[in-house]
Amino acid sequence: MKIRNNKGFVMIETIIVMSILALGLISLYTSYVLIMKRTQNSNSDSATNTYIAYQINNYKIYEYASNIDTPYYVEIYRLGNYYLKRDCGILGEAITCSESTVLDTEEINIFLNLNIEKIYYITRTLRDVFDDNIILLFDGSTINYLNKIKNDVYINNSAERTVIVKTKENSETKFSFYQQETNYETKNIRRILLGENNSNVSNAVTVPGISLSNASENVIATTMDDSGLSYYYRGNVQNNYLVFANMCWRIVRITGNGSIKLVLYNANDDSCNINSSSFAFAKYNNVSSTTVFNLNSAYNSYIGYMYSDKANSNDYSENHLNNKDSTILTRLKGWYDNKFSNNEKKLLADVIWCNDKRVVASVSYNPNGLQNLRGTGVKNDASYYQTSMRINPYTSSNPTLSCGGGDNAISKFTSFSNLKGYKIGLLTADEVVFAGSNANASGTNNTYYLYQNAQSNRYWTISPAYFNGSNAFMWIVNRNGVLTTTNVNDDSIALRPAIALLPSVNVIGSGTANDPYIVIE
């Protein structure tokens, strides 16, 4: 009987197996390195979770069926010995999910090998799934996880393709979070502005409303607005330049709902490093950059961004109706239609433009020597509007970015409501104060960022000041950088538009004049 010698074969076999394993490890490491470059916002930086994200993307587990055109999320889940997937979305006013389909063998193996319990592939922004009607469809631990991340400034609203992977190891539930980047080397603008863990955010050095900012102040600080916590730029800021729609803008603040509010810096082209005294003004008819706010000044009504056709009414509500466009709104709409393409308009956010029409009974500070104003805000009664109280540097200045509750709805203008699709406005006097100005008639501020490119002329804010019995007055920014007032039919005041971008906008650049943020469509 011949005895077979297997030693040589075993050695060769061992070498082959080791080579295959080595190649596999190299391949896995290469995949991991590549995916780490393409992956953002993972709440776990382990190789395992990153590889999960890669496998999901690579095998297209999140592909959705065709019977729901715009699903909110795709759910892949275990049911007994099966793994199923289905689409969930809104049809009409109801949430519905498609019929579940069984995963193929390759997909099932991924689940088994990586201990995956569930995957949620979210096809909209996370804000959509945070709607109470939708979030309740998730299981308990996932609801808790979504609630944990939904207020994270780096995560929420920053991508429309999000994967959340739920694994279970030794009876312990874990999550990994994956948002796919675009083909550009871009980053979400909010994440860049605020820095990691809000590292760019600090306190104001000078007190808004009481003091002018100084040349050394350059901060992102916080205060509340109607939607929540707002982050505003103050002082001699040099890293808030942004290019959008072939124009250069300055970032004013991040609103409470995450929108990025901008004010015009260079209306002529996308150059941000040009120092001029008039480039920040818009030529609404391609000729003139100055305009009246309203042609008529004879009633309280004409402090309105929109005003009433019952301007001589003795009823406050009638006197401040919003059924006629102001002259300045008409000119802003024309400029808006001329300057923004349809695709660019889709990147604009719907924010509140606050034309605060609330009156006060009397004030001690009188910018033009008026006293004991009755504050009814009707017909030809002399009245102060609340902004005049809030930005008074001589008493207890208390500027705010809030336009008030529902009782002040008459002062709030949005694209969704009274502006009928137009997403454009002007800065409030309060926003100018937070940026570094105040209403000190003897003051000067030529270092804060709103002064640059805009010192050749005075320009309008959207904030009413007062009605003196015969003329309506608005707050404007003077040539010296501080706030003052003028009547609404002054035709020598410049037009400086403001807009807001969606929180999900991605940009490249560093925000300086030579390397501005550039919005990637």
Bridge partners (DSSP) listed for residue 353: 413
Query: What is the spatial distance between Cα 518 and Cα 521, in angstroms, rounded to a whole number?
Result: 10
What is the per-residue pLDDT for 374? 55
Backbone angles phi, psi at 122, to 5 degrees: -95, 125
* β-bridge mates for residue 384, sequence order: 360, 466
pLDDT at 123: 75
Chain segment 112-124, per-residue pLDDT in tens: 777 788 888 877 7
CA distance 357 to 51: 56
Residue-wise pLDDT for 127-151, tens only, equals: 677 776 677 777 788 888 877 776 6
Is the pLDDT at 396 greater than 90, yes or no? no
CA distances from 268 to 234, 276, 283, 286, 513 (A): 25, 11, 9, 11, 15
User: pLDDT above 70 covers what percent of the chain?
Assistant: 76
Query: What is the model's pTM?
Result: 0.66
Q: Which residues contact 8 (CB under 8 A, 6 or more apart)?
A: none
Which helix (H) or strand (E) is 18 found in, with range?
helix 7-38
Report pLDDT digits (tens) over 345-355.
Answer: 999 999 999 99
389, pLDDT greater than 70: yes
State the CB neighbour count (10 A cutoff) for residue 502: 17
* Least-confidence region, from 30-39, 422-431, 440-449: 30-39
pLDDT band, very low/low/confident/very high, at 35 (cuts 50, 70, 90): very low
Once rounded to an integer, what is the mean pLDDT over residues 301-307? 95
Q: Rounded to whole angstroms, what are the CA distances from 55 to 46, 163, 174, 177, 386?
A: 14, 11, 17, 13, 58
pLDDT over 90 for what percent of the chain? 44
* Rounded Cα gap, residues 397 and 277, in angstroms: 30
pLDDT (0 to 100) of residue 352: 96
Least confident piece of the model among 71-75, 149-153, 475-479 = 149-153
Q: Say whether pLDDT at 48 is over 60.
A: no
Write out pLDDT tens, residues 229-286: 999 999 999 999 999 998 999 999 999 999 999 999 999 988 999 888 899 999 987 7
Taking only the tens place, the pLDDT of each residue in 6-22 is 344 455 555 544 444 44
pLDDT of residue 81: 74
Identify the pLDDT of residue 475. Answer: 97
pLDDT recorded at residue 59? 57
CB atoms within 10 A of CB 65: 14
Q: Which residues contact 399 (CB under 8 A, 6 or more apart)?
A: 208, 209, 390, 391, 429, 430, 433, 434
Average pLDDT over all residues of the chain: 80
pLDDT value, residue 21: 42
Q: Is residue 41 very low, low, confident or very high in pLDDT (cuts 50, 70, 90)?
A: very low
